[in-house]
Amino acid sequence: MSADPRLSINQATIKHADLATALRVTADAGVQAIGLWREPVNEVGLDTAARMLADSGLRVTTHCRGGFFTLSDGPERRAALDDNRRAIEETATLAAAGADGSTSILVLVAGGLPAGSRDLAGARARVRDAIGELAPDAAAAGVTLAIEPLHPMYVTDRAVVSTLGQALDIAADFDPAVVGAAVDTFHIFWDPDVLTQIARAGREGRIATYQVCDWKTPLPADVLLGRHYPGDGVIDFASLTGAVEAAGYTGDIEVEIFNADIWASDPADVVRRTATTFGEAVSPHLAVALDSA
Amino acid sequence: MSADPRLSINQATIKHADLATALRVTADAGVQAIGLWREPVNEVGLDTAARMLADSGLRVTTHCRGGFFTLSDGPERRAALDDNRRAIEETATLAAAGADGSTSILVLVAGGLPAGSRDLAGARARVRDAIGELAPDAAAAGVTLAIEPLHPMYVTDRAVVSTLGQALDIAADFDPAVVGAAVDTFHIFWDPDVLTQIARAGREGRIATYQVCDWKTPLPADVLLGRHYPGDGVIDFASLTGAVEAAGYTGDIEVEIFNADIWASDPADVVRRTATTFGEAVSPHLAVALDSA
């Protein structure tokens, strides 16, 4: 079978697969790229993971995830920053091991309000400060930090960065090669300003990664898991994908789905279905086919 | 007991109380104002409701709710607009019957995506068009239409108006006496731009009503019902209330809570607890006490 050459399977879509399984089912489905997560990588160890990735022939598109930047100064914040430095090194190692066209991108989820705090503005300032501390490490490693705005329903418990515009405002102080943004349809499709901000992201050279999955209601009891295959919900992939293309993005496109039913399914089936739905809902809106040698 | 003179109980907070009960428990708690909903008003009939309101001695602050503007042209859309015209008349009648200081404000909830549609931009344009159709009726009746941005988690099924800035953009074409915005902490606290937009709303004369309730996680299985007494969650009522005050708003402040546990409680208890929590979480941030004669 032939999947879209720009499709990348974010490993969270097959959350319960170990790294070996994730690489195998992705390659077996004719998909050329994968986005990795730290936990399954560290389960086998970074060096082993890098060898497995190289053997798979897949490109790696992102490493997920760093962040958790909202804590106040103290040992916990320093530990979080140190952990992000390890994640930067992992990202660089994996990108070097992946097939040609791999990208060295660490996705950052900012973190929510610290326990007992109501100070969103303060938490947001600390995100900016943390990225400032990590930017030199990322630059030295050749890694791009991708600030991911999360849907505002996660603002207090997961990510105080809620819009693409806000992510770009934070990124603006840094070299675009070092700090960009993750553009994920699920998180930003609702924003009345989304097309303007996608265009701005392109103009400012900040689209580090484009991720797709769908939204539909009612949301599940755990709203973290309300993501769906492209086309199964109400997101307009034509306008968003068209805007990302028009903004100059020519890279791989990840499908990242958090969904309990999908996680309970056979990962090979999930990857095949992801490739099919991507081909139907996203591929028709891509003007640029990836030159993947 | 003495409740804050600017507190108004939105009837949705005691959803299962009929109009007579709602008026009685509100007045009995020493609260001076109430925000009404169409269903309990129409259950007794408008004229009877107006007499009951007059007898209660309470101010009325808003009438909830109009809207449902996202349908395409056709009989359903025309029926919705006609129903909004009835809501405008109800609003004027009730405001005339309420105690001095009552305000003639109809809260508008825009509506979600029509079935089968993915066209958020189109739905948003139809909201603007519908308000344009209703504005002359509202002006003639002396009613202010308050566009209520709802939290983005409701964007596809309840309200395609998701930010205060978007509501103000829609309102901008109209006389501020006729079209304003509802500023509800639950719906907009997450917005990185919220303080700027509250200041803008004040500058443009558009703060039709200020409503408060709290947010906390995890959200309940039905995310519609995730609202809490002020102070029970993580919203910073100091900064938001301060911004609304600084923007020049001197009117009543409604507490509107959708919460299954609160709805299952005795309404007299709920109103008393609302007054207490409002006094603790919101009143300290009010510079202006209402001159309520």
What tens digit of pLDDT does each residue of A122-167 get?
999 999 999 999 999 999 999 999 999 999 999 999 999 999 999 9
DSSP character at residue A23: H
Separation of alpha carbons B13 and B11, rounded Å = 5
What tens digit of pLDDT does each residue of A55-74 get?
999 999 999 999 999 999 99
Is the CB of residue B84 less than 8 Å from the CB of residue B66? yes
What tens digit of pLDDT does each residue of B127-171 get?
999 999 999 999 999 999 999 999 999 999 999 999 999 999 999
For residues A254-289, one letter each, b for 16 or more C-beta atoms within 10 angstroms of the residue's C-beta and e for the rest, the string is bbbbbbeebbeeebbebbbbbbbbbbebbbebbeee
- Of A231, A235, A230, A225, the residue nearest A261 (C-alpha): A225
What tens digit of pLDDT does each residue of A86-131 get?
999 999 999 999 999 999 999 999 999 999 999 999 999 999 999 9
Whether A192 has its CB under 8 Å from any CB of chain B: the answer is yes
Question: What is the overall mean pLDDT for chain B?
Answer: 96
Separation of alpha carbons A40 and A8, rounded Å = 17
> Chain A residues with CB inside 8 Å of B215's CB?
156
What tens digit of pLDDT does each residue of B259-291 get?
999 999 999 999 999 999 999 999 999 985 544
What tens digit of pLDDT does each residue of A214-264 get?
999 999 999 999 999 999 999 999 999 999 999 999 999 999 999 999 999
Separation of alpha carbons A272 and B197, rounded Å = 45
- State the ipTM, two decimals: 0.95
Whether A162 has its CB under 8 Å from any CB of chain B: the answer is yes
Whether A191 has its CB under 8 Å from any CB of chain B: the answer is yes
The confidence score (pLDDT) of residue B96 equals 98
The confidence score (pLDDT) of residue A291 equals 46
- Least confident piece of the model among A21-35, A278-292, B99-113: A278-292
- Give the gap in angstroms from C-alpha A135 to the nearest C-alpha of chain B: 23
- Of B121, B38, B138, B41, the residue nearest B85 (C-alpha): B138
The confidence score (pLDDT) of residue A287 equals 81
Which residue stretches of chain A are H helix?
A: 19-28, 38-44, 46-56, 75-97, 120-141, 164-171, 185-188, 194-203, 237-246, 260-263, 267-281
Q: How many other CB atoms are found less than 10 A from the CB of residue A53?
A: 25
- Considering only the beta carbons, identify the residue of B166, B190, B235 that sits closest to A162: B190
Tokens of B74: 């056709």
> Is residue B64's pLDDT more than 90?
yes
Q: List all residues 6 or more positions away from B95 whose beta carbon is below 8 Å from its beta carbon.
A: B60, B63, B102, B103, B104, B105, B142, B143
B126 burial (CB, 10 Å; 0-12 / 13-18 / 19+) is buried
Which residue stretches of A98-184 are H helix?
A: 120-141, 164-171
pTM of the model: 0.96
- Give the gap in angstroms from C-alpha B149 to the nearest C-alpha of chain A: 11
Q: List all residues 6 or more positions away from A127 whose beta carbon is below 8 Å from its beta carbon.
A: A69, A70, A110, A111, A147, A160, A161, A170
Q: What percent of chain B has a predicted confidence (pLDDT) above 70?
A: 98
Are the beta carbons of A190 and B155 separated by less than 8 Å? yes
pLDDT band of B2, cuts 50, 70, 90:
confident
The confidence score (pLDDT) of residue A289 equals 54
The confidence score (pLDDT) of residue B4 equals 97
